[in-house]
Structure 1
Amino acid sequence: MTDTLTARWVVVDIEGTLTATSQVHVVLYDYARPRLGPWIDEHPDDDRVTAAVAEIKEDAGLAADASTEDVVSVLHSWMDADRKASPLKALQGLIWEHGYTHRELISTYFPDVVPQLRAWKTAGLDLAVFSSGSVAGQIASFSHTTEGDLRELFDHHFDTVNAGPKRVPTSYAAIRAALGSPDPAHLVFLSDVPAELDGAAADGWHTVGLARPGEPFADADFGAHPVVTTFDDVTIERADD
């Protein structure tokens, strides 16, 4: 159980915090993997796709006229290494958005998550997401869940494109600016990754580590960050104006 925190904004990670890591690394990755090549070939006029492909080629040192097969080979290697590459996340997000829209995908959360998010929202706290997954993918994932459409819970979404890398303080400063520059002591970040919490704390945020049993960071050293295994052990009250 954490001490009672006061805040205006609660910002949450997704993978390992709201959902099991397997939801991303198994369910979503397996859905996207065979669809990357066809998606690229079937959307030659989509600026989001062409920009992502161009960035992949540049990053991987491929020729400008490299084939889709060559691009997909790079993407699969990045997925295998769990590399948080923005063009990969952009393409995955578009594919996942299609999957959720067509009811081929459904998000499942840890049982403590949705009741607590709703309770914080009811208590007057504002909620946002900061995930390495693209904003499009985030919004799509909340649209079709075992708990219904949860998109209305969140006021803002941040990823590595509009905020920056998740482990550096400047990303949290950028998020704070996008939220209207609130006092950093009025923000709480919840994540299962200690290095991400370090980044938020360096910008003055409150932090809470999620050491969920069976997850990759369950036995990690969270240092000075408060650590819980469930949202039920996190108490946050709305800060005064």
Structure 2
Amino acid sequence: MKPIAIVTDIEGTTSSIRFVKDILFVYAEQFLPDFVRKHKEERDVARQLRAMSESTGIPLRNTEALIAQLQEWMRQDKKVTELKALQGMVWEQGYQRGEYQAHLYPDVPEKLREWQEQGINLYVYSSGSEKAQRLFFRYTTHGDLRLLFAGYFDTTIGAKQEVESYQHIADWIALPPKDILFLSDIEAELDAAAEIGIQTIRVVRPQEGDADVDSKHRLVHSFAEITFD
């Protein structure tokens, strides 16, 4: 069934996991500590540090302990909202300096434009912050694609493997779940979305070494294979 809205994951779905792991994460590991030290008094950074202090019990005045916790979360690849928000701020400087561009699989931009022309509303749902998502699609290897999307969702709406998160998204989009399609490379995320009746497709990129997998969901290897009856 043709959906009215499509929600897509980023890492491993529209874009290479290697770009995120080997470029963005490494850049954040290198520059986030000094970024926090330099900008800790600024509103957006201070808000994240305050929330982090409240959730961890680390005193707000202990900047180095907060930085150490952020570094530990990065090593563990934790999907912590405050970490993701601060990473997004650091990545912005890298994009603006032209130090990298966001990778997209070549089948993605064409299909996104095709769906938008068909009147399908497009959204992003990623563990990266909303700010990081907008930066990602602004500075891609295929140009600025931000205007293709009607909205962006991050972990402030809920964790990606929790059923309630997808209900929140459906409520925000104001559509019945059956009219929404979710694209992801992660089985557990698709399971959570399907639990409330959202249509699902698992995108398995051979480039990521996952060509042969078992799934309860429809499988495709590129956006070009996605068609609607």
TM-score, length of structure 2 as denominator length: 0.93
CA RMSD of aligned residues (A): 1.8
CA contact 1:33–1:76 (8 Å) conserved in 2: yes
The aligned residue for residue 144 of structure 2 is: 149
Residue 112 of structure 1 is matched in structure 2 by 107
- Cα distance in 1 between the residues matched to 2:97 and 2:148: 22
Name the amino acid aligned to 2:82: P
More helix by share: 2
Q: Matches of 1:218 and 1:33 in 2, distance apart?
A: 30
Question: Which residue pairs with 1:95 in the alignment?
Answer: 90
8 A Cα contact 1:8 1:126, kept in partner: yes
The residue aligned with 2:197 is: 204
1:62-87 per-residue CA deviation (whole Å, 9 max, x = no partner) reads 3343233x222222221121110111
Q: For residues 32-77 of structure 1, what are the alpha-carbon distances to aligned partners after superposition, in whole Å with 9 as ceiling and x for unaligned?
A: 1121122112223322211222333444443343233x22222222
Structure 1: give runs of 5+ residues left out of the alignment.
none
- In structure 2, the residue matched to 1:55 is 51
Please, which of 112, 121, 131 is the counterpart of residue 126 of structure 2? 131
Amino acid at match of 1:135: E
Counterpart Cα distance in 2 of 1:236 and 1:188 = 11
Number of the residue aligned with 1:9: 5
1-structure distance, mates of 2:163, 2:23: 31
Query: How many aligned positions are there?
Result: 229
Distance 1:196 1:42 in 2: 36
Residue number in structure 2 paired with 1:236? 228
Question: What does residue 38 of structure 1 align with?
Answer: 34
Q: Do the aligned partners of 1:120 and 1:236 also contact (CA within 8 Å) in 2?
A: no
Q: 1:28 aligns with which of 24, 42, 57?
A: 24
Q: Of residues 68, 77, 86 in structure 1, which corresponds to 2:81? A: 86
Q: What fraction of aligned residue pairs are identical, expressed as a percent?
A: 37
When normalised by structure 1's length, the TM-score is: 0.88
How far off its partner does 1:119 sit?
1.1
